[in-house]
């Protein structure tokens, strides 16, 4: 019952559209400007990078807080059960962000919320998230496409986890298989959510970071 309650709270928290709410506070419907996406990238084009940073942190917290809460509440569970509870709670928040009940299940792309889950899963995902974040920053600085940087980080994340399981003493696949399963599943979901961005990248029509909306129209978007 406690896990079920946590999953419900995690999903409802994940469903909160912070980008949409921030824009609404400025008299703007984020769904009707730019790309129509409700996350930090589209918000940056409407209100600037500072509000985008606020949105990113809030979306990250949606994944971090339920994961930490599950870690505390189920810390006495043996074996991988406690870790599995954290993963389930974190995934519920990610699902909430991507399929929010408040917006008829049309949400963002889940990258920031997934990163929050990764930070909460110390030390396993946190190590992988640090490397993935470095890759994300490098790709963003060189090519300035948020979507491309997010896709690159999504590929790197599970590879780093596999490498860590191989070389770090005490990290055993028999115990960490839930981590590896989710580490592969989330990037697949990220690629599915970015399929339009991938198409625009190949076509050369994807917009770069912090490109301002003109006349309320912007053909593409990055990561929310």
Beta-bridge partners for 214? 217
- What is the pLDDT at residue 1? 79
Provide the CA 105 distance to its chain's centre, in angstroms.
16
User: What radius of gyration do the chain's Cα atoms show?
Assistant: 17
pTM: 0.89
d(CA 51, CA 54): 5
Could you give the angle at which helices 146-167 and 111-120 cross, rounded to 10 degrees?
30
**pLDDT per residue of the chain (224 residues) written in tens, 0 to 9:** 788 999 999 999 999 999 999 999 999 999 999 878 899 999 998 999 999 999 999 999 999 999 999 999 988 887 688 889 999 999 999 999 999 999 999 999 999 999 999 999 988 899 899 999 999 999 999 999 999 999 999 999 999 999 999 999 989 898 899 899 999 999 999 999 999 999 999 999 998 875 655 545 444 444 44
Per-residue burial over 173-200, b = 16 or more CB atoms within 10 Å of its CB, e = otherwise: eeebebbeebbeebbebbeebbeebeeb
């Amino acid at each position: 019952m406690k896990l079920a309650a946590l999953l419900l709270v995690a999903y409802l928290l994940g469903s909160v559209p912070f980008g949409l709410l921030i824009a609404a506070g400025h008299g703007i419907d984020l769904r009707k400007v730019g790309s129509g996406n409700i996350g930090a990238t589209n918000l940056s084009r409407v209100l600037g990078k500072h509000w985008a940073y606020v949105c990113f942190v809030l979306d990250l917290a949606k994944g971090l807080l339920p994961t930490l809460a599950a870690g505390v509440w189920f810390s006495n569970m043996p074996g991988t059960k406690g870790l599995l509870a954290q993963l389930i709670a974190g995934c519920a928040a990610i699902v909430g962000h991507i399929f929010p009940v408040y917006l008829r299940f049309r949400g963002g792309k889940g990258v920031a919320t997934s990163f929050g889950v990764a930070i909460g899963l110390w030390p396993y995902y946190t190590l992988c998230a640090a490397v993935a974040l470095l890759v994300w920053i490098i790709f963003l600085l060189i090519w300035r496409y948020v979507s491309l940087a997010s896709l690159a980080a999504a590929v790197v994340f599970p590879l780093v986890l596999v490498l860590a399981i191989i070389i770090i003493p005490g990290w055993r696949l028999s115990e960490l298989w839930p981590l590896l399963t989710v580490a592969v599943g989330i990037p697949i979901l990220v690629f599915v959510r970015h399929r339009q961005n991938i198409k625009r990248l190949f076509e050369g029509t994807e917009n770069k970071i912090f490109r301002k909306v003109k006349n309320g129209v912007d053909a593409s978007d990055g990561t929310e």
